[in-house]
Amino acid sequence: MTPVPDIGTTGSTRTITAALPGALLGLLGALVVATALGTWFTGGGETTPGLVPLVTGLLLLGAGCAVAAGDIRSRPGADTAAAGPVAGEVTDVVVVIGSVLVFAAFVGGLGLLLTVPAVVYVLATRLDFRTGRGLAATMAGLLVLVVGAFVLGLRLPLPILPTVP
């Protein structure tokens, strides 16, 4: 059976996907150039705060175009750029970033006492804790480690207990 040539919609989609990082970098460069020209080149001569951003933006614009061109030319699947997501990868990213955001959201109000277990709980959704006891032991152990090292050892003013409103 003759293999079907990989053209048409699939080819176009692949080209767009391959060019996307470079295009975004180029766009970022263009935005920096526009901001530098519009905001800081209203006077002030050569030592204006816009001089280096302008040059950097122009270089980034060029580098972005070169990256896009290189990625379009490169063989699909030749590097990680073209490789598809690994199974469960998106969930891993969401869980790890989510756990960090949980810490950011709760540490001020709930203190380390409740925030550390909450972070571990979120991460545990992607880790193979066989028993609830193992999970509880990890939470307790980490809490002791953090309070012992940072609050008692380094004497940092970190909130341990929840703040009563």
Residues forming contacts to other proteins in the complex (CB under 8 A) are 21-22, 25, 28-29, 32, 35, 40, 44-47, 49, 51-53, 56-57, 59-60, 63-64, 66-67, 70, 79-81, 83, 85-86, 88-89, 92-93, 95-97, 99-101, 103-105, 107-108, 112, 116, 119-120, 123-124, 126-129, 134, 138, 142, 145-146, 150, 154-158
CB count, 10 Å around CB of 53? 18
For helices 51-73 and 9-40, what crossing angle results, to 10°? 170
Closest to other proteins by CB, 1 vs 84, is 84
Query: What whole-number distance in Å separates Cα of residue 83 and Cα of residue 13?
Result: 14
Closest to other proteins by CB, 8 vs 157, is 157
Give the nearest distance from C-beta 35 to other proteins in angstroms: 7
Query: What whole-number distance in Å separates Cα of residue 141 and Cα of residue 118?
Result: 14
Closest to other proteins by CB, 4 vs 104, is 104
Closest to other proteins by CB, 12 vs 90, is 90
CA 119 to chain centroid: 18
Give the nearest distance from C-beta 13 to other proteins in angstroms: 16
Reported residue count of the chain is 165
Closest to other proteins by CB, 8 vs 153, is 153
3-state DSSP assignment of residue 2: coil
Contact of 64 with 22, CB cutoff 8 Å = yes
Residue 102's contacts (CB-CB under 8 Å, 6 or more residues apart) are 115, 118, 119, 122
Give the nearest distance from C-beta 46 to other proteins in angstroms: 4
Give the nearest distance from C-beta 2 to other proteins in angstroms: 30
